[in-house]
Amino acid sequence: MLFIHEKIRPITIHGGLNINTSHSSLKILQIFFLSTIVFLSLFSACFAETISKAADRVTDNQLIDLNSEKYQLFFQELQDKHTFKKEDLHHLFKEIRINRKVLVLMDRQWESKPYYKYWPLFITPSAVVKGKRKLRTHRQLFDRIEEQFGVDREIIVAIWGIESRFGSNMGGYAIFQSLNTLFDAYPRRSDFFRKELIHFLLLCRENKIDPLSVKGSYAGAFGQAQFMPSSFNEYAVDFDGDSHRDLISSTSDIFASIANYLKKYNWALHGPVFVEIGNSLKTDLLLDTYQKGRKGRMEWRKVAKDQGVTLPRPQNNSQLSIIGLEKTPLLGGGKRFVAGYPNFHAITEYNHSNKYAMAVAEMAEAFKK
């Protein structure tokens, strides 16, 4: 802060009023500026606290407060609406603790990477070879699935490959602890994980599974298809005829459940998924659609006309989305743009990231080559 001692001189304020500066007026100004800085510092500290990450507000392995109002309401709902017994809930939830790493990972998700760093995590030469081999091994099973569900086999295997490395990595986090951690200590999506925790308890009861035994991802997905509990309850199917939906060890159930998920979002067999449309967008409407993200839509004929490209007709003349994918700086950087078709949109219902959907689509294309 600069205060230069000069000979006292008048300061003219608009309107003709003259004020003579003095030591006392300088003192007042000094106090005012210091007070302003203190206020802004305190405000900044408070603001930083409100946006601090969830992991910063807990310690690892701390006990969850089951006497809190939200847990008491949660237990009451489980008893009244879902007929869980109070003593069973007490036994299951006692000593449940926070897994701080779950919170750290929630704010460090792979989808935040630029696409040129994202896709190589999954689309590797060994993964493509393994996927092709799985397609040959399960050819007859996929014949039946395509006939019944109308979903392309390559897409199913690509999702399987990305979600769990073709079943070899289903995650090592205790799902029950992860869901409780996120319900209790991840305020931004606490309501979502509360619902997932209820779905998880219901599916465990239905399938006679010990909730404490299930391992999966830090975000609560489990099995070879990495379904969230609510997705399991809504989309998982029994395709091997044993009257049991098994997404951990039954390849029939796993593949058919992925297909059923996509079918529910209007997948069209052998329909286009995406089309390359260039390295820049040529109209404001295209740019506006792109900036709206996953939900942005544009009439397909308009996309073709504005961008100067030829596009296949989408099923039901549905609208298209515009996706921008970062290119590596080693090849000049910038973006490549693609038009996303309804099949692409179906994949984003499985995982809301456009980058995820693009990696699935490009892996599936690699299987065909």
Catalytic site includes residue 147: no
CATH of the domain at 97: 1.10.8.350
Total number of domains constituting the chain: 3
| Final residue of a structural domain among 193, 220, 241 | 241
Same domain for 324 and 211, yes or no, is no
Asked whether residue 183 is domain-assigned, the answer is yes
Question: Does one domain contain both 289 and 327?
Answer: yes
Residues 172 and 237 in one domain: yes
Task: Give yes or no: residues 79 and 198 share one domain.
Answer: yes
Asked whether residue 210 is assigned to any structural domain, the reply reads yes
> Is 34 a domain residue?
yes
Same domain? 46 vs 89: no
Q: What value does the mean pLDDT of the chain take?
A: 89
The confidence band for 8, taking pLDDT boundaries of 50, 70 and 90, is very low
Which helix (H) or strand (E) segment holds residue 49: the answer is helix 23-50
Query: CA-to-CA distance for 281 and 277, rounded, in angstroms?
Result: 8
Residues 101 and 170 in one domain: yes
Single out the catalytic residue among 154, 163, 196, 362: 163
How far apart are the C-alpha atoms of 144 and 138, rounded to whole Å? Answer: 10
The pLDDT tens digits of the residues spanning 29-79 come to 454 445 444 444 444 443 333 356 889 999 999 999 999 999 999 999 999
CA 156, 158, 159: angle at the middle one, nearest 5? 65
Asked if 78 and 220 sit in the same domain, the reply is: yes
In terms of domains, do 175 and 315 share one? no
- Kindly state whether residues 82 and 204 are assigned to the same domain: yes
Contact between 197 and 183 under an 8 Å Cβ cutoff? The reply is yes
Domain that holds residue 16: 10-50
For residues 336 and 218, state if they share a domain. Answer: no
Q: Give pLDDT, residue 13.
A: 33
Domain limit, last residue, from 189, 224, 241: 241
* Residues 96 and 180: beta-carbon distance below 8 Å: yes
pLDDT in tens, 273-322: 999 999 999 999 999 999 999 999 999 999 999 999 999 999 989 999 99
Establish if 369 belongs to a structural domain. Answer: no
For residue 5, tell me if it sits in a domain: no
101 and 201 together in one domain = yes
Same domain, 189 and 285: no
The position carrying tokens 């910063």 is 56
* pLDDT > 90 fraction of the chain, expressed in percent and rounded: 82
